[in-house]
Structure 1
Amino acid sequence: MTGFNQERLMKLILAPVVSEKSTYVADRAGQYVFRVAQDATKPEIKAAVELMFKTQVESVQVANVKGKRKRFGRYEGRRRNWKKAYVCLKPGQEINFAAEVK
């Protein structure tokens, strides 16, 4: 966790991804899925999760999600691309999103 700007780490993780796939992955593999900043790197994501949730991270996989093409009448546009991080915690560790923040 040393060597990283703490202010940047706090802005890196944007939100947890809540979907059928993410809950399935959390139950089966103990991985948690987060929406992260486009320029985030794996070591930064690891440090940010360890800082924010006080857990130990084993590994991080990232995926770039392409924005969907959408139409509004005759106008066509597309949503933004975004980055998704799969964070695998060390055995015995867990993240409880429902816990109250003190």
Structure 2
Amino acid sequence: MSQEEATPADQAQPAPLTQRPVLGTVQEDRYIHLVRLAWDLRGLGLATQFELPLTEEPYLTAQGGRRPVRVTARKLGQDWIYQWGRGRNQWIDALDHRAAQTIRKAAAR
């Protein structure tokens, strides 16, 4: 398709992955949220590694600074959050447009 034939929908940028709706089982949603975050972090220049351990929840490791940051996706009521520690400021809503930026900053410390 040439540039002249492209429709506005073809030229539109997709919403950041963390802003798209998720539907499925809790485990499927957790996986999808973590993979979306991995792609968003990659777009910000961070390497990530996704782990599916047998005996614990899946998690994402973001490599950005002195030490890797381990991020999990958790359901909190009806919402999903990303959590990378136990502190009050170490979580963010999974659909927050600042999620990847916030985790990138945490990984840079």
Q: Confirm or deny a common fold (TM above 0.5).
A: no
TM-score when scaled to structure 1?
A: 0.24
TM-score when scaled to structure 2?
A: 0.23
